[in-house]
Amino acid sequence: MTSYADYRTGGRIADTKAPAGPIHERWDKRRFEAKLVNPANRRKQTVIVVGTGLAGGSAGATLAEQGYRVVQFCYQDSPRRAHSIAAQGGINAAKNYRNDGDSIHRLFYDTVKGGDFRSRESNVHRLAEISVEIIDQCVAQGVPFAREYGGLLDTRSFGGVQVSRTFYARGQTGQQLLLGAYQALSRQIAAGNVEMHPRTEMLDLIVVDGRARGIVARDLVTGKIDTYFADAVVLATGGYGNVFYLSTNAMNSNATAVWRAHRRGAYFANPCFTQIHPTCIPRTGDHQSKLTLMSESLRNDGRIWVPKAKGDTRPPAQIPEDERDYYLERIYPSFGNLVPRDIASRAAKNVCDEGRGVGPGGQGVYLDFADAIERMGRGAVEAKYGNLFDMYQRITDEDPYRVPMRIYPAVHYTMGGLWVDYDLQTTIPGLFAIGEANFSDHGANRLGASALMQGLADGYFVLPATVNDYLARNPHKDEVDSGHPAVQEVLAETEDRLNLLLSVDGDRTPDSFHRELGELMWEFCGMARNETGLHKALERIPQIREEFWRRIKVPGTGEELNQSLEKANRIVDYLELAELMCLDALHRTESCGGHFREESQSPEGEAERKDQEFGYAAAWEFTGTGTAPTLHKEDLVFEYVHPTQRSYA
């Protein structure tokens, strides 16, 4: 056992902000109890927002509309490019426009169940309540959702849900919602209410007298490292899927902001809860830099299969019907190809591990549209999925209308993140985390079309209400003194770190380390985890870290646009976060949602939860690089949706 795995269990934590009482009254109650800031005083209060995706963009715009002074950052050249833009499928809302039995309570129920009973009921219910307002808001902004001929909004069913509650804009829902938020933000930038810093990356958090009071950020063009001060700081910096090197995340999405906040005292919750998406395009070789997801709406009409026989290398058309195994339809007859993401991904891994995978390296399964084309006609399939088929053909050079697509699971989303209370405040007063950066709403597995919903719920509606309360209780008194030792220390640490990266002058590139770490994590902390593998990873990570600081090579200087330096600095944080992910996965000896421990499964190979032992959120406290962290448990109480073993058979 490594000393890092010798963690200590500290005091339990409680969410002190969630009101008691009937669940549907809690959000109203909290908003009423929250203190308000006099509109005249809002201009004096500054809020820093880091990130401009759905959560950050909507939060920045809304806080500015309320009258706060917002200072906002993104590493991209424009706030319009945050990776929310790549979300394809849609956004859930309990509008019940279809009259198909949907309701706020059903969306709440589905989300808690889909999350495998590892999320917080109060938060999830609030999310379901707000979902209906999000659609209204986005339509008012001019988001061109799909419509029916009568002019009303169209919806579809999505990812393991039996009602049609998913609103969409062809395969580009994320893009359209993000542009809506970006345009609202642009209006506030023009009005002078938001000071926008593009191409500027947060490198650390400034905590003064126990409160978050600012950030250290680097201008990526000039290389200048500067401090920015505020009365509250909001992190909307997304997830940490890029720890795995290959994922569906954008190339520059990273974990530095959340990890640096964690190092400064914010607890990190459920880091091992990562989502592997079942319908991605398989990799073609070692040069692969990222993986591309195709909307899982494809599973509505495509049939997933592999050959029955191992090592069958015949082209798919030559494999007769009775020699094909439509394994999802066979194992899960009632949900079939529409089982939740974690189940579909694991089933694909299992058949490939058996040697029945297809394509290069046997790392793929077929997603076949032949039946759909015969049933609906090619035209209908084209109308529904045309853009996805085109994308597939462009990447693979194969025609999915004639040859079945090949798909394989890939890292897509991280349910874990900074621990936040009902107000979305972290354990550092004045530091808030929203969107994928926090942990609260999706438990151990996120349902399709729920990420967009959560990002916008947090940014448009939740945070602007709760940050009020914090600012009212902590009114602006004085500016932070830039000479304060706490500020100088963070600044010096950041500069030293970058200088060190530039001075090692070793013989390995940043990417080579990132790839090595990613392969290790995919093997031992990916779709299936076990004790031996996790110990192996925990032994290996500190060695990679040591080698990194000995052999890293970063050309150029810190006083210029230096993309190698940016990469290397992000890897420094991945090399610590990866260790915590493995420890979290090791300590949770149950299987739940995206976290599958091989030791905890039924004789049929289904995941087995252990509610008595693990019915809590694991919030980790940082104690030092490579030293064992402290575990704080937040007990999860289920008053409305009673835990049952998920069954999709």
Partner 1 sequence: MKLTLRVWRQKNADADGAMSTYEVDGISPDMSFLEMLDTLNEELILKGEDPVAFDHDCREGICGACSLVINGDAHGPERTTTCQLHMRSFSDGDTIDVEPWRASAFPVVKDLVVDRSAFDRIIQAGGYVTAPTGSAPEAHATPVPKPDADLAFEHAECIGCGACVAACPNGAAMLFTSAKINHLNVLPQGAPERETRVLDMVAQMDEEGFGGCTLAGECATACPKGIPLTSITGMNKEWLRATRKAGKR
Which residue shows structure tokens 């994590």?
521
**Chain center to CA of 120:** 17
Minimum CB distance to partner 1, residue 207 (Å): 29
- Residue closer to partner 1, measured from CB, 191 or 492: 191
- Quote the DSSP letter at residue 75: S
Minimum CB distance to partner 1, residue 573 (Å): 18
Determine the interface stretch with partner 1 among 25-33, 116-124, 287-295, 310-318 (rule: CB under 8 A).
Answer: 287-295
Distance CA 27, CA 645 (A): 29
- In the region spanning residues 290 to 329, those forming contacts with partner 1, defined by CB under 8 A, are 290, 292-293
Distances (CA, A) of 195 to 188, 190, 460: 9, 9, 19
Applying CB under 8 A, among 19, 133, 382, 610 the residue interacting with partner 1 is: 133
- Residue closer to partner 1, measured from CB, 317 or 561: 561
- In the region spanning residues 138 to 167, those forming contacts with partner 1, defined by CB under 8 A, are 139-142, 144-153
341 catalytic? Reply is yes
Determine the interface stretch with partner 1 among 415-423, 506-514, 586-594, 622-630 (rule: CB under 8 A).
Answer: 506-514
- In the region spanning residues 40 to 59, those forming contacts with partner 1, defined by CB under 8 A, are 58
Minimum CB distance to partner 1, residue 460 (Å): 5
Distances (CA, A) of 493 to 40, 394, 522, 557: 38, 45, 31, 17
- In the region spanning residues 422 to 461, those forming contacts with partner 1, defined by CB under 8 A, are 460-461
- Out of 42, 81, 341, 570, the active site residue is 341
What is the per-residue binding string for partner 1 in 556-575, x denoting contact by CB under 8 A? x---xx-xx-----------
Answer whether 414's CB lies under 8 Å from 241's CB: yes
Site for partner 1 contains 241 (CB under 8 A): no
Determine the interface stretch with partner 1 among 30-38, 432-440, 517-525, 554-562 (rule: CB under 8 A).
Answer: 554-562
- In the region spanning residues 469 to 488, those forming contacts with partner 1, defined by CB under 8 A, are none
Q: Residue 16, Cβ neighbours under 10 Å: how many?
A: 8
Q: Residue 181, Cβ neighbours under 10 Å: how many?
A: 32
Site for partner 1 contains 182 (CB under 8 A): yes
- Residue closer to partner 1, measured from CB, 556 or 605: 556
Distance CA 52, CA 54 (A): 7
Determine the interface stretch with partner 1 among 203-211, 288-296, 370-378, 534-542 (rule: CB under 8 A).
Answer: 288-296
Site for partner 1 contains 464 (CB under 8 A): yes
Residues whose CB falls within 8 Å of the CB of residue 499, separated by 6 or more in sequence, listed in order: 558
Answer whether 245's CB lies under 8 Å from 515's CB: yes
Site for partner 1 contains 519 (CB under 8 A): no
- In the region spanning residues 57 to 86, those forming contacts with partner 1, defined by CB under 8 A, are 58, 61-62, 65, 76-81, 83, 85-86
Minimum CB distance to partner 1, residue 596 (Å): 27
Bridge-based pairing of strands 324-325 and 274-280 is: unpaired
Return the bridge partners of 36, or none. Answer: none
- Quote the DSSP letter at residue 423: T
- In the region spanning residues 345 to 404, those forming contacts with partner 1, defined by CB under 8 A, are 391, 394-395, 397
Minimum CB distance to partner 1, residue 100 (Å): 16
Question: Does an H or E element contain 57, and which?
Answer: helix 54-66
Angle between helices 54-66 and 463-473 (to 10 degrees): 50
**CA triple 646-648-649, angle to 5 deg:** 120
* CB-side neighbour CA atoms (13 Å) of 424: 34
Task: Tell me the site size for partner 1, rule CB under 8 A.
Answer: 81
User: Which has the closest alpha carbon to 434: 447, 446, 449, 417?
Assistant: 417
Minimum CB distance to partner 1, residue 250 (Å): 4
User: Which has the closest alpha carbon to 108: 100, 117, 99?
Assistant: 117
Minimum CB distance to partner 1, residue 551 (Å): 11
Residues marked active site are found at 341
